[in-house]
Amino acid sequence: MYISYDGMTDPLGQSQVLPYIIGLSKEGYSFSLISCEKKERFEKEGKKIGALCEKHGIDWYPLPFTTKPPLISKLLDKRRIKKLAISLYKEKKFSMVHCRSYVAAEIGLMLKKRFGTKFFFDMRGFWVDERVDGGIWNLNNPLYRLVYKAYKRKEGDYIRYADYIVSLTENAVAEIRSWSSYQGAPFTVIPCSADFSHFVVPDQRTKAEAKENLDLSQAAPVISYLGSVGTWYLLDEMLRFFVLIAERYPLAVFLIITAEKPSWILQKAEALAISADRIKIVSASREQVPVFLGASDLSLSFIKTSYSKKASSPTKLGELFAMGIPVVTNGDVGDVEKIVNDLQAGRVLADFSELEMRLAVDRLEELMTIDPEALRTRAKTYYDLKNAIRKYCDAYEKVLS
């Protein structure tokens, strides 16, 4: 059984859950998949995802994802998952439960204690501390303080009783090994990987077509950003950096591929005197993402740093490197600094000061002439989905043997 609180109709589910399960299904594993789906996305994508699961022999059990009232809605979601998981176990007697992150892990640990199933903890980051560091749980509120303490105790149990643990980063593994709750469970580090058959290096004609479709000048250097903005992703800092880029490259355009509302982004850009014609904001399906990214010469990934970010692996990096697109990013986020430097894949900012940004702008021409095919080749060992599936297979064999 695979339990994910993230939905399969979410972009994350389509990039970081289903491709892995499909790959593992091809290796002979049989899955019952429980996920929690947001209403609008399920109505839009549900049939497509259902057909994909059926094609690969995955039994998918979508449940509703609720947000109101706060906290109580999560308890109700968890109750639904628990009820379904117990029912499915009694029917199918599955040998292992693969739990994606903490909400799922609570169900997985319950199944282990009640039925003796193997408990595979795919932790995906320090979720409890992310809620605090991201400002979602305010510890000045007594209720959130209680919830935080309760989940820290649960986190310790997940680590203590797991038959296997998957971490996104080496940085997180080093941290967890220092915890008293860690009792020696085997570890594997599997970063957020990318399907290298889906994200490919565009040739010159494809790149020109991408610019034409986006109504961008063929002469314009295109600086891109992929993903959500706000909370963890530092839009203000990226816009400030683009202002400095535009000083050096007057034709440069900032292409933002996101599901966020354009009005909010444009308002921030206007405050920095960035004209609307220098910003291109588009929303994209998974199929469209590599098409739009094909116009890009360089991409940005500025992330808020915190304790919980030790365990973070930005999904966008593997996808960008698979397309041969270099990045400018910041350190103190998971293993990002080491990876970018080892792969010669861009530049890591020491901070977001104007001086540091200007030094990076001085290097842009060099970065934008990195050989994309060579970058893709270097990134394959670390980010290719096939390698990630192989690591999961090895881990499954160790647990199930």
The rounded Cα 112 to chain-centroid distance in angstroms is 28
**Structure-derived torsion over alpha carbons of residues 112, 114, 115, 119, reported in degrees to the nearest 10:** -10
6 Cβ contact partners less than 8 Å away, ≥ 6 residues apart: 12, 13, 17, 35, 36, 100, 101
* pLDDT per position as a tens digit, 23-57: 999 999 999 999 999 999 999 999 999 999 999 99
All structural domains of the chain with their residue ranges: 2-193+384-400, 204-383
| Closest alpha carbon to 58 in 27, 38, 29, 88 | 29
pLDDT at 68 over 90: no
Cα-based distances in Å from 155 to 51, 101, 176, 178, 364: 35, 10, 11, 14, 42
Domains 2-193+384-400 and 204-383 share a fold: yes
Q: Give yes or no for a contact between 335 and 191, defined as CB atoms under 8 angstroms apart.
A: yes
Q: How far apart are CA 327 and CA 296, in angstroms?
A: 11
pLDDT at 65 over 90: yes
Percent of the chain past pLDDT 70, that is, above it, reads: 100
Q: Place 322 in a pLDDT band, splitting at 50, 70 and 90.
A: very high
Q: How far apart are CA 183 and CA 122, in angstroms?
A: 16
Q: How far apart are CA 147 and CA 385, in angstroms?
A: 35
What per-residue confidence (pLDDT) applies to 357? Answer: 98
pTM for this entry: 0.94
Two structure tokens written together for 172: 């997180």
Q: Which amino acid is at 222?
A: V
Q: By mean pLDDT, which of 226-230, 278-282, 294-298, 383-387 is the weakest?
A: 226-230
Q: How far apart are CA 2 and CA 90, in angstroms?
A: 15
Q: Place 70 in a pLDDT band, splitting at 50, 70 and 90.
A: confident
| Section 351-369 average pLDDT | 97
| 173 Ramachandran zone, left/alpha/beta (phi>0; psi -120 to 50) | alpha
What per-residue confidence (pLDDT) applies to 231? Answer: 79
Q: Give yes or no for a contact between 179 and 305, defined as CB atoms under 8 angstroms apart.
A: no
pLDDT averaged over every residue in the chain:
96
Two structure tokens written together for 12: 């994350």
Q: Give yes or no for a contact between 167 and 124, defined as CB atoms under 8 angstroms apart.
A: no
The rounded Cα 84 to chain-centroid distance in angstroms is 27
* pLDDT per position as a tens digit, 120-155: 999 999 999 999 999 999 999 999 999 999 999 999
| Section 1-17 average pLDDT | 96
CATH number of 2-193+384-400: 3.40.50.2000
**What are residue 28's phi and psi, to 5 degrees?**
105, 0
| Section 281-293 average pLDDT | 95
Q: How far apart are CA 342 and CA 29, in angstroms?
A: 34
pLDDT at 230 over 90: no
| Section 238-242 average pLDDT | 98
What per-residue confidence (pLDDT) applies to 128? Answer: 96
> Is domain 204-383 in CATH 3.40.50.970, yes or no?
no
Q: Place 255 in a pLDDT band, splitting at 50, 70 and 90.
A: very high
* pLDDT per position as a tens digit, 179-215: 999 999 999 999 999 999 999 999 999 999 999 999 9
What per-residue confidence (pLDDT) applies to 215? Answer: 96
Q: How far apart are CA 375 and CA 346, in angstroms?
A: 10
Two structure tokens written together for 209: 């077509």
| Section 259-271 average pLDDT | 93
What per-residue confidence (pLDDT) applies to 388? Answer: 97
Q: How far apart are CA 365 and CA 363, in angstroms?
A: 6
Q: What is the DSSP string of 346-387?
A: EEEES---HHHHHHHHHTHHHHHTS-HHHHHHHHHHHHBHHH
| Section 76-93 average pLDDT | 97
| Closest alpha carbon to 259 in 297, 289, 221, 298 | 289
